[in-house]
Amino acid sequence: DAKTTQPPSMDCAEGRAANLPCNHSTISGNEYVYWYRQIHSQGPQYIIHGLKNNETNEMASLIITEDRKSSTLILPHATLRDTAVYYCIVYSTDSSYKLIFGSGTRLLVRP
Amino acid sequence: EAGVAQSPRYKIIEKRQSVAFWCNPISGHATLYWYQQILGQGPKLLIQFQNNGVVDDSQLPKDRFSAERLKGVDSTLKIQPAKLEDSAVYLCASSSRAASSYEQYFGPGTRLTVT
């Protein structure tokens, strides 16, 4: 079973920041938080990952709380192309590099 | 760099027929995964290969599903005989443990409809 909880759907206006929350209260010390997204009719696409520190790349920022029990994926200036299902996944290199997907958050970016 | 290739993109078959899907991973990626994604759900791992050996096939319905990865490159996933509940998108992904992030790269998937 997935070890994360995400809201089933969210929306935001184009050009505004999209903040997608994820709860992973049972995360253990050697587990990473990974985010993937899946645009309609495509395979999932890696976005970002982190262990304890906040991370930023060209696609998004990842904010992990100090107790590591929750995180937020931030798309700073959402565009219509960011409409997708976003998956937050807790991932351990001890688990044979296996991703366990939940149902994700369906993000709709409105014009 | 070429991505993960899958074929066919779409397949419609009748129940009890057989079907096979093909995947060509990113060059040099030792790990290959097959996932099943039922409409409205996240992908579920069916089988994981490391080179040509199976690492995890605990979720593969072995009475009807089989997969192979000869020579540690291309892979095929077969369903025989198909059931209505096998209607789903079958995704192939690959990864390189040489990469620090262990991210998986997914192909576009094969959409299977069983009637």
Q: Which residue has the higher pLDDT, A92 or A16?
A: A16
Q: For residue B88, what pLDDT band results from cuts at 50, 70 and 90?
A: very high
Q: How many Å apart are CA A99 and CA A104, to the nearest integer?
A: 13
Average pLDDT, chain A: 92
Q: For residue A2, what pLDDT band results from cuts at 50, 70 and 90?
A: low
Instruction: Pick the range with the lowest mean pLDDT from A74-88, A90-104, B45-59.
Output: A90-104
Say if B95 is an interface residue toward chain A (CB within 8 Å).
yes
Residue B85 main-chain phi, psi, to 5 deg: -75, -5
> Has residue B6 got a pLDDT over 60?
yes
> Has residue B4 got a pLDDT over 90?
yes
DSSP A6-18: --SEEEEETTS-E
Distance between B36 CA and the closest CA of chain A, angstroms: 11
Say if B31 is an interface residue toward chain A (CB within 8 Å).
yes
Three-class secondary structure assignment of B82-97: CCHHHCEEEEEEEECC
Instruction: Pick the range with the lowest mean pLDDT from A26-40, B50-64, B66-80, B95-109.
Output: B95-109
Distance between B70 CA and the closest CA of chain A, angstroms: 21
B residues 53..92 contacting A (CB < 8 A) = 55-56, 91
CB contact under 8 A, A49 and B103: yes
Positive or negative, the CA dihedral B72, B81, A44, A20 is negative
Q: What is the dihedral of CA B38, B90, A59, A29, to 10 degrees?
A: 80
Q: Which two tokens stand for residue A105?
A: 């958050």
Say if B100 is an interface residue toward chain A (CB within 8 Å).
no
- B4 to chain A: which residues are within 8 Å by CB? 43
- Give, in order, the Cα–Cα distances in Å from A10 to each of A34, A45, A103, B37, B92: 19, 19, 13, 22, 28
What's the confidence (pLDDT) of residue B34?
Answer: 97
> Has residue A98 got a pLDDT over 90?
no
What is the per-residue pLDDT across A20-36, written as a single tens digit (0 to 9) for each?
999 999 898 888 999 99
What's the confidence (pLDDT) of residue A96?
Answer: 62
Q: Which residues pair with B5 in a beta bridge?
A: B24
What's the confidence (pLDDT) of residue B1?
Answer: 65
Contact yes or no for B19/B76 (Cβ under 8 A): no
What's the confidence (pLDDT) of residue A99?
Answer: 83
CB contact under 8 A, B102 and A91: yes
> Has residue B99 got a pLDDT over 60?
no
Nearest CA to A99 among B103, B110, B77, B6? B103
Nearest to B48 among A42, A98, A101 (CB): A98
Q: How many Å apart are CA B44 and CA B90, to the nearest integer?
A: 9
- Three-state secondary structure call for residue B6: strand
Nearest to A101 among B43, B97, B105 (CB): B43
Contact yes or no for A90/A111 (Cβ under 8 A): no
Number of A to B CB contacts under 8 A, please give it.
52
Mean pLDDT of A44-69: 95
DSSP A16-52: S-EEEEEE-TT--TTEEEEEEEE-TTS--EEEEEESS
- Give, in order, the Cα–Cα distances in Å from B39 to each of B43, B88, B90, B111: 9, 7, 11, 10
- B26 to chain A: which residues are within 8 Å by CB? none
